[in-house]
Every structure is written in C-alpha cells, then in structure tokens.
Structure 1
C-alpha cells in the first residue's frame, strides 16, 4: 500500500489528528495547571524576571527535544544527545581557547554534533543495530572523548564574546544611575529563547511542508510500506539522526556560552528531559506520530516544573524522582493511546 493511499483515508487521518490535538491540548492544560499551582505558592513565580529565566532554562531542553522528536517519529531513539552536547560544546571551547573566532568555532561544534548523529544513523541502518544500543554506545564514546580531550577539567577564560549567545538578550534596557551604577529596566528577551523559536519554526516547516518531513512520518508509520512506496528509508533515518546530533551540538554551544566555560561533564541525563518533552507533547515511541508544537509544550512543562520546584526549595534529588515519575506516566499514556 502506498503512502499516498494511506494519506487518502479520511477516517484514519481524522482520528489521528483528533487524538494528537487532544493530547496537545491536554499537555497545554497541564502546563497551565502547573503555572497556576506554582504562582499560588509563590507570587514571584509570575514575575517578568522569572518568566525570562524559564525561557532561558527551557531553551536547551527545547533544542534537544526538537531533534529527539524527529528521531522518535522515525521509530527510533537517541540516548546520546546529552553526551554529544558536552562533546560539541567542549570542541567549541577548545577551538576558541586556541584562537579560533567564536562564530566559526560554534559552527564547528554543530558539525561535530552532526557527525556524531551521522555515525548513529550509519550504525543503525548499515550495521542493523537497534537504536537503543547504537546510541547508548555513542553516549559513552562522546562522553569519554570529551573527558579525554580536556583531561576532565573545565575550559575557562574563553572571553566575553563567547558568552554573548547564552547570556545576551534582545531589547535589554539599562539605565545609568547618578552614582555610576547601572539599573536594569527590562532584562530583554534571551537570545537562546529567540534561537529556539526560529529552530522550532524551521523544524515544524520541515516536518509538515517538505519531502523529508513526510518521509520521516512515513518511515515511522510503516517502514515496509514506505520502502515499497519509493522512500529511501535508510537515508531518511540517517537524516533524522544527523539533525538530532546537529541540534545537540547547537544546544551545547548555548549551554557552554551561558556558563562562559566549556564543561565536559555537562549534559548528564539531558536525554531523558528531551525524551520526556517529546512524549509529553504527543510523540509516540511506536513511531509515526509527533509534532514540534507539542514538544515545545512538553519542554516548557519540564522547564516550569524544575523552576517551580527550585523556587519551592525542593532538593535536586527529589526533583529527579518527580521527573522520573513524569516520564513513566507520559510513556504509559502513550502506550494506552497506541493500544486504542
């Protein structure tokens, strides 16, 4: 059966769209409920500064979640994004430390991430190793490489320019006081949040309007049917993993720029946040279902949850327990949806 024939079935398509829309609306209602609960417990939660902090904290999760969504839609998984983030950010820091200008160094960091994704895709499609095992291996390889390159030590003194991407803001307004000090009138919109917006729009356009996006959905829905319809399944999977790796590299640049230090130990367990964002937003681990808008909602649920728990004084260990329960619940709901 061809992909075109599958798409021509109105009843199945309407059911899928309605189910996905309902899932996204449920996630949006959950986000609104979390905001209401945390705002009730702490009035400062709804302040402008805290809102911008949530935007800043969510940007890295969102970038990883977008790449993870593409991989999950193909029916795969990428457990290496946290380690690839660290490796790409470390490579960027090493190049800047060696005198390479910041922009080319960050571009090279993204290329490093894309190369890791390419290796993942080749191992999965050519060696026929399951995505879980292949990306688990890459997770260890990338982390070990980052630690080996730096001797497990952070790379500091990278200069003010290196920190612009992670700490800069659009429309920031600062007033000079008579005593010579500065007063921030409006902190501005963080650059990482603006970057996340553009990447999300581009990824949504790719998935919904371009041939590669349609092939990604077709591969995840029914790989054999997609192959018989002329879709190059292997190339599609490789492209999804390359995009995931490239976005992990971009997220690594953002995170290291925020710290103004390249940390080879960063990104631990970030893959779980990325998976949770995608699944909470409606992506199915069975493949063929998911969207960028839902992933953004899922990323903000994770970001708001972490921010609200921090403001409530909940320890980082308890936060891990709560996020773990959220991941299990999201996967359970996904399985119930798949059975129906």
Structure 2
C-alpha cells in the first residue's frame, strides 16, 4: 500500500479547508441569529433549563449526523439510520427483557446497528448498488424486522437502570427544603449531551488526525485517484457505513432510554434530520467535503429551530416545511460552490 504522504490529492484538501471554514462560519452566524430572534419572542428561550432541553433534544440528531457526515464525505448517503435506530433499540429492549444487564444489552443494540451498516457497506462496494438504493432497502428491512420482533407493540417495564442514559445528568444540584420534593438549583448537564460531545471529539480526531480519516476524504474527493494512491477504497467505505450504523444504534439507545420504553415506530424521518444537519454544516453531497464541527452546528440549528418554533406555538407540519426549505437552500449553495 502506498505511503499516504505520497497521496496526489493536495488540491482537493486545500479546497475543502477554505470552503469548509466559510460554511462553518455562515452556519454559526445563522445559529446565533436564530437564538437572538427566538429570545425576543419568548423570555424563557435563553434560560438555563431551556438550553439544557435543546442539548437533550439535539443529542440524537447529532449522533446520527456524525455518522451521516462520514458517509457523505465518501460520496455516499445513508437513508437507513432512522430504521436502524429503531431496530437497535428493539434489540436492546429484548435483551433487557431476557435478563441481560442494561449496559451489555445496549452494547448488543450498538452491535446490531453496526451490523446493518456493515451490510450497507458490503452492498454498496461489492454488489455495486448505488448508496441511495442500497440504504433505502436497508431502511425497509430494518424497520420491518423491528416491527416483526415486537409485533409493532412497545416494550415497557425495562427497569430504572434503562432510563439512566437518557434521563440522567452530571453536576445536578438540589437543595433540601424540608418538603417532599427538594428544590432543583441546577438540573445538571444531560448524559446524552456529554455523550454527544465525546463522540464528536472522537470523530473529529479520527477525520483530522488518523490515516482512515484522510482516506475517507480522499475517497470522496476522487475515488479513482485515491485508489491509484494506494487507498483501499472499498474498505474505507465499509468502515464509514459501519460506523454510521453503530452511531445509529447508540442514538437508538439514547432515545429509547429517554422514553424508558422501546418504540419500534421511532426514528421515522430521522435520516432527513441527519442529512440536513450535515448539509447545513457544510458537507457536500458530491463527497470530499465536510467536518464534524460543522455538522454539530447544523444539528443545533435544527434543534434550536424546532425548540423555538414549539415555544412559539407553530405546528409540527409547518416546522417540517421550514426545515425542508432550509435543506433546499443549503444544497443549492453547495451546488454553487461546486460549480465555482
């Protein structure tokens, strides 16, 4: 395998850095503008409690968005993450019901998600089926398996330990008042937010500091040039899809833990939120461009937008319209960038 220092792809790398910085800055300014606009409409928007609520609500989108970003950088797409999220949650719930402790059961759910991603990668690379069709098939398969395993019924009574990941918090401060319920001084930082931060840092390190990260960028920038430079393109794509599936499994555990109930119908349309977060954050659907920090900003734009619109009493249907328009605008900007 050729040494990575001899990769003949310096121009795409430099282009990625300059355009990525521009999109990240524009996305960050958009996030700040949304926060200011919603704060004028509702005094409770900028409170600590609401900020922590946004963190909690964004955690699932962020985890899915990180995996989606890796796949998009390779030039692919993963439409199955919402269904894989549900299937992974079902696997975890059934394992807990079978007597498996919560932590190992959640690990099984993540492994189930990674297995779905591995199949996606195999179908894309070895069977030469386009990512859109391959992951669309997995979306239907995973959802069908989840519904079949549960009979389309929720799995409940999973124990208090099952709800710790989704509902626990760090640095929670309470004050005894002498009554039945203590006064909550600080609700604490939600565990899902801490988990999201840890995964984002690890993914950014992988993309920017590890060889596999450079291979992911090279594959998306110019697949044939990457192959001639010694990059194992198929292995790189399989890695990206597998990691996307594993993160979908982790997101499934977080979401089901928040609900303290496994819902096989959860995760519908979540793949669109993940794609939106990545694209808003500057990832190019043409491949080769994208970064984790931009995706995090994109995820928080969606989270803040939904939170602010909910507080303003805007219906969920209108919210979908607004997010759809934002995605179209982001993709249009990406096309202008590619033409230039």
Normalising by the residue count of structure 2, what TM-score does the alignment of the two structures yield? 0.97
Tell me which residue corresponds to 1:330: 330
For the pair 1:38 / 2:33, whether they are aligned, the reply is no
User: SS in structure 2 opposite 1:93?
Assistant: helix
User: SS in structure 2 opposite 1:44?
Assistant: coil
Between the aligned partners of 1:14 and 1:234, the Cα distance in structure 2 is 24
* Unaligned stretches of 5+ residues in structure 2: none
Question: C-alpha displacement at 1:4, in angstroms?
Answer: 3.6
Query: 1:169 touches 1:190 (CA, 8 Å); kept in 2?
Result: yes
For the pair 1:102 / 2:99, whether they are aligned, the reply is no
Question: C-alpha displacement at 1:17, in angstroms?
Answer: 1.9
Tell me which residue corresponds to 1:53: 53
Seen in structure 2, the aligned counterparts of structure 1 residues 323 and 8 have a Cα distance that, compared at 3 Å, is closer
User: SS in structure 2 opposite 1:184?
Assistant: strand
- Listed as ranges, the matches of 1:174-323 within 5 Å are 174-323=174-323
Tell me which residue corresponds to 1:22: 22
Cα RMSD, aligned residues only:
1.3
Tell me which residue corresponds to 1:137: 137
Between the aligned partners of 1:207 and 1:245, the Cα distance in structure 2 is 17
User: SS in structure 2 opposite 1:43?
Assistant: coil
Question: C-alpha displacement at 1:176, in angstroms?
Answer: 2.2
For the pair 1:124 / 2:124, whether they are aligned, the reply is yes
1:283-340 Cα shifts (integer Å, max 9, x gaps): 0000000000000000000000000000000011111111111111111111111111
Between Structure 1 and Structure 2, how many residues are aligned? 338
1:149-197 Cα shifts (integer Å, max 9, x gaps): 0000000111110000000000001222212322111000000000000
Question: C-alpha displacement at 1:6, in angstroms?
Answer: 3.6
Query: 2:9 touches 2:218 (CA, 8 Å); kept in 1?
Result: no
User: SS in structure 2 opposite 1:185?
Assistant: strand
Question: C-alpha displacement at 1:231, in angstroms?
Answer: 0.7
1:113-138 Cα shifts (integer Å, max 9, x gaps): 00000000000111100000000000
1:201-256 Cα shifts (integer Å, max 9, x gaps): 00000001111111100000000001111111000000000000000000000000
Tell me which residue corresponds to 1:154: 154
1:32-56 Cα shifts (integer Å, max 9, x gaps): 0000000011010000000000000
Tell me which residue corresponds to 1:86: 86
Question: Which range is displaced more, 132-141 or 312-321?
Answer: 312-321
* Unaligned stretches of 5+ residues in structure 1: none
1:22-78 Cα shifts (integer Å, max 9, x gaps): 110000000000000000110100000000000000000000000000000000000
Query: 1:3 touches 1:226 (CA, 8 Å); kept in 2?
Result: no
Between the aligned partners of 2:268 and 2:23, the Cα distance in structure 1 is 29
Question: C-alpha displacement at 1:259, in angstroms?
Answer: 0.2
User: SS in structure 2 opposite 1:174?
Assistant: strand
Query: 2:71 touches 2:240 (CA, 8 Å); kept in 1?
Result: yes
Between the aligned partners of 1:5 and 1:178, the Cα distance in structure 2 is 68
- Listed as ranges, the matches of 1:62-73 within 5 Å are 62-73=62-73
Question: C-alpha displacement at 1:3, in angstroms?
Answer: 7.6
